[in-house]
Amino acid sequence: MERIRHTQAWATLETLSTSVKRQHMRDWFANDKNRAAKYTTSACGITLDYSKNRITEDVLTALFELAEQRQVSEKITAMFSGEIINTTEHRAVLHTALRNFSGEPVMVDGEDVMPSVFATLDKMKAFTESVQSGAHKGCTGKSIKKVVCIGIGGSFLGPKIVTEALKSHQNKALDVRFVANVDACHIHDVLSECDYKETLFVMSSKSFSTQETLQNTLTAKAWFLQQGATEADIAKHFVAVSSNVKAATEFGMAAENVFPMADWVGGRYSLWSAIGLPICLAIGFDNFRQVLQGAYEMDVHTQTTPFASNLPVILAVLGVWYRNFMGAQSHVLLPYYHYLRGFPAYVQQLDMESNGKSTTLNGLTVDHGTGPIIWGSEGTNGQHSFHQLIHQSNLPIPADFMLPIKVPNQDNTHHAMLASNCFGQTQAMMQGKTFEECYQDLADQDLSDKERSILAAHKTMPGNKPSNTLLFDQLDPKTMGALVALYEHKVLIQGAIWDLNSFDQWGVELGKVLGNDVLDVIKGAKDNEHLDASTAALIAQFNRG
C-alpha cells in the first residue's frame, strides 16, 4: 500500500488543517444554525453528535476520501469474510462470527465455523442455567453463590466492564468477582470472602500460558483444598475457558468443564466468545444474547452504511484528523454513567494494544502518528480533577462524552444534574470564554486595571476543544453490545487507514520473557551476570528484603 503521506487526501487535509487552526467553533455555531443537526447521526440505540468538532464540510469530505484511498471498505469486508488479516500470526480475525445472526456461514480454511459457535453458546447457556437455577451443586451439595473469575487483559476486561455496566440486570443471588493482577493482595482479599462450598472459579486464558492467570488459579486451587475439599471436588468448582484445551486438561481441569474458544478470536476482542461466560453467569444467558445481538446490529450498520452516516467510520476519521493533522496525542473517554466507569480502561486496551504500533503491514517504519493514548474516567468526577487541563492547557485532547438518557431506578434529580454537567462540559470546551468576557465580569471588583487584566487572563478559556457526545436511549444489554462493537470497528478502521496490523501484540512479548528471566534470578535459579547493572542492583535490593 502507498505511504499515507503520499496520498492526495493527506495533502488536502494538511492544507485544510492550516486554515481550520485559525478558525473557532464558536463562530461556526453562530453562523450555522443547522450545524448540530447536520453533524448528528444515530444507529443501534446510539446517537452521535459530532458537531462540536474542529471540522468543516471540506475536512469531512477529505477524511472520507482518505478512508476510501486507504481501502477501508475492503478491509471491513476482508475481516468479516474471514481473510487472514492478522498477517503476522497468520490468523483470520473473526470475533464478528461469534455474534453472526445472519444465518450465513462464515468460512475459515474451507470450513463453516458457525456450528461450533452455536455449540459453544449452547454449552454456555446450559451451564449458566444450571448454576443460576441452583441445579449445579458444589461438593457438599450446596448451590453456587459466588463466582470468582480469573483472567487478565482481554480475558478479564471485557467480561468485567460489561458485567459492571449491566449491573441492573445482574442476578442478585450470584456474586461475580474478577481477579487479574498477580499481586497476591487481590486473590487473597477475594478468597477471604468466599465459602469454598458455594464458590465457582472460572479461569479464562486463551493461551493457557499467562503467568498471572496460572498463578492465581494455582493459589485458588490450593486455598480450595486447604479448606477441606478434595481433588475429586475440583470438577464441581473449577471451569476454564481456553483455546488450548489440551493445556487446560493437563493443568487438571475436567475436559467437560473446558469451554473452548477459537484461534481466530483475539484476546481483546473475545468477550463475545466463551470468555463471556462470567457475563452470562452475572446477567443470564438471554441478556448475554442481547449483548451479542446489539454487536451484530452494529456489524451490519458498519458494513452497509455509507461513510457519511457510519458511526465507526465517523469516529475513526475524526480521530485520524486530530492525531495526524491537529497535534493530538491522546483521546479521553468520559462516560457520564457510574456503571460505565470501566469503559475507558476497556477501550484503552482495545485501542492501544491494537494500534499502538509503528510498523506498516509491509514492515516499514511509519512516518505518521498512529494510535493515541486512551484515557479517562467517569463524569462528573473528572471535572474536579483533570478537566482543568483539558479546558486550559495547550494540549489538544479530543473527548468522547457518553450519557444514557434513561437509567435504571431513575432518580430525576440526580440524572438531570449528571446530564447538565455532561452537556455543560461539552459546551464549555467548545465555546470557552474570551478575555473580554472575563474582563467584563470583573467590572464591579475593586481591582486596578493591571490586576483586572491579569485575573481575566487567568480566567480566559480558549474553547475550541473538540468533543463527540454519544447518547444512549438506555444502556441495556443490546446497546452495550453495540457500543463495544462501535469502538472495535473504530479501531479496525483507523488501523486500516494507518496500514497497521491491529490484531497482533508483539510489543508485550519481550516484557514477559524478561520477567520470567528476572524471576529465575530472584529465586536463585540463575546468576545475574547477564543482567544490566541497574536491574541486577534492583533485584539484589529486593532479595535483601
By CB under 6 A, tell whether 222 contacts ligand F6P.
Answer: no
Q: How far is the CB of 361 from ligand F6P (least distance, A)?
A: 19
d(CA 365, CA 191): 47
Residue 206 or 301 having the CB closest to ligand F6P: 206
Sign for the pseudo-dihedral over CA of 162, 167, 168, 169? positive
Closest CA to 369 of 355, 354, 348: 355
Residue 360 or 505 having the CB closest to ligand F6P: 505
| Residue 348 and residue 322 in contact, taking contact as beta carbons nearer than 8 Å | no
Q: How far is the CB of 482 from ligand F6P (least distance, A)?
A: 22
Q: How far is the CB of 111 from ligand F6P (least distance, A)?
A: 23
- Contacting range for ligand F6P; rule: CB under 6 A; set: 5-13, 134-142, 206-214, 488-496: 206-214
| Residue 220 and residue 148 in contact, taking contact as beta carbons nearer than 8 Å | yes
Ramachandran region of residue 382, left (φ > 0), alpha (ψ -120 to 50) or beta?
alpha
State which of residues 23, 88, 207, 543 lies at the interface with ligand F6P (CB under 6 A): 207
DSSP percent split of the chain into helix, strand, coil, nearest 5: 55, 15, 30
d(CA 348, CA 373): 8
Q: How far is the CB of 210 from ligand F6P (least distance, A)?
A: 3
By CB under 6 A, tell whether 268 contacts ligand F6P.
Answer: yes
- Contacting range for ligand F6P; rule: CB under 6 A; set: 2-10, 63-71, 199-207, 413-421: 199-207
Beta bridge partners of 199: 146
d(CA 96, CA 113): 11
State which of residues 108, 152, 333, 471 lies at the interface with ligand F6P (CB under 6 A): 152
- Contacting range for ligand F6P; rule: CB under 6 A; set: 152-160, 224-232, 337-345, 468-476: 152-160
Q: How far is the CB of 151 from ligand F6P (least distance, A)?
A: 6
Instruction: Please list, in sequence order, all residues whose beta carbon lies within 8 angstroms of the beta carbon of residue 61, skipping any fewer than 6 positions away.
Output: none
Count of residues that bind ligand F6P according to CB under 6 A: 14
CA atoms within 13 A on the CB side of 59: 25
467-474 and 399-406 as β-strands: parallel, antiparallel, unpaired? parallel
Sign for the pseudo-dihedral over CA of 76, 80, 82, 87? positive
By CB under 6 A, tell whether 154 contacts ligand F6P.
Answer: yes
Residue 88 or 207 having the CB closest to ligand F6P: 207
Residue 154 or 398 having the CB closest to ligand F6P: 154
Taking CB under 6 A as the rule, which mask of x and - marks residues 36-65 in contact with ligand F6P? Answer: ------------------------------
d(CA 484, CA 349): 12
By CB under 6 A, tell whether 206 contacts ligand F6P.
Answer: yes
| Local structure of residue 12 (DSSP, 8 states) | H
By CB under 6 A, tell whether 372 contacts ligand F6P.
Answer: no
- Contacting range for ligand F6P; rule: CB under 6 A; set: 146-154, 164-172, 310-318, 380-388: 146-154
**C-alpha cell of residue 541:** 535490593
Please identify which of the residues 212, 297, 353, 488 carries the catalytic annotation: 353
By CB under 6 A, tell whether 211 contacts ligand F6P.
Answer: no
Q: How far is the CB of 513 from ligand F6P (least distance, A)?
A: 12
Ramachandran region of residue 327, left (φ > 0), alpha (ψ -120 to 50) or beta?
left
d(CA 353, CA 503): 8
State which of residues 82, 267, 344, 432 lies at the interface with ligand F6P (CB under 6 A): 267
Is 353 catalytic? The answer is yes
Please identify which of the residues 6, 33, 172, 384 carries the catalytic annotation: 384
By CB under 6 A, tell whether 75 contacts ligand F6P.
Answer: no
Beta-carbon count within 10 A of 508 CB: 11
CA atoms within 13 A on the CB side of 511: 6
Q: How far is the CB of 243 from ligand F6P (least distance, A)?
A: 8
By CB under 6 A, tell whether 505 contacts ligand F6P.
Answer: yes
Residue 129 or 263 having the CB closest to ligand F6P: 263
| Residue 182 and residue 296 in contact, taking contact as beta carbons nearer than 8 Å | no
111-112 and 107-108 as β-strands: parallel, antiparallel, unpaired? antiparallel
Residue 260 or 462 having the CB closest to ligand F6P: 260
Give residues in contact with ligand F6P (CB under 6 A).
152-155, 205-207, 210, 213, 267-268, 353, 505, 508
Give the catalytic positions in this structure. 353, 384, 512
